[in-house]
Amino acid sequence: MKLENNHLGQPVGSLVPGWTPRQSPPRAAMPGVYCRLEPLDADRHAESLYAANRRDVAGINWTYLSYGPFAALEDYRAWARAAAAGSDPMFFAVIDAATGDAVGVASYLRIDPANGAIEAGHLNFSPLLQRTRAATEAVVLMMAQAFALGYRRFEWKCDALNEPSRRAALRLGFSFEGVFRQATVVKGRNRDTAWYSVLDREWPELHRAFRRWLDPANFDPAGRQIAALSSLTAPLLRKSGA
């Protein structure tokens, strides 16, 4: 990005011609090939999500979330009902296209239309969704909609100790920006937060990498990937200095 000086000789950010605030993302379904995202509905999704989460017998998925685990279906249903009622975070259920079952949740949050910034968070992908094409596609669908709405910045944040989430961010082409120390208190413990982002100017190349990876031709008859997504996104990370 070209640096400029103002009339005082001070460096200033580049102009953003014609900038106007963006609209908030709609509370509407986002269809894909391997999954679709539906606005979270406790009556429709809670039972399936609770059953899917129960496959995480050790409760690993809940360690870095500020809520859960839930001892009973009704506890989870109450959480889902409260989560679905909000607009920021705006929660979605991830539906497996093959089975029609809800197998994970994700949300938009820190939605900032005035500055064109938005975050994906509260990702809780059950064992039925983890390490699948649908898991990657779910995040891609959220990114694609945000950039189609004209957002300039798509964020990913996680506990700095959450190594799986940090690896996932890099695999998905998010550039590491740093760690906010003592950012929050979660379940009575300190949380340092690692920040990652994708910018609008990076999205076209990244989207091409996603399309190539998600192409059925990228998988052998046993479903094994031929080209790893990390190998396709690594050049973009190098360009951004991550």
Strand partners, 93: 38, 105
Picking from 79, 84, 76, 78, the residue whose alpha carbon sits closest to that of residue 27 is: 84
Phi and psi dihedrals of 142, rounded to 5? Answer: -65, -40
What is the value of pTM for the model shown? 0.94
Tens of each residue's pLDDT in the chain, 242 residues: 677 999 999 999 999 999 999 999 999 999 999 999 999 999 999 999 999 999 999 999 999 999 999 999 999 999 999 999 999 999 999 999 999 999 999 999 999 999 999 999 999 999 999 999 999 999 999 999 999 999 999 999 999 999 999 999 999 999 999 999 999 999 999 999 999 999 999 999 999 999 999 999 999 999 999 999 999 999 988 777 66
Hey, what are 46's tokens? 């809670």
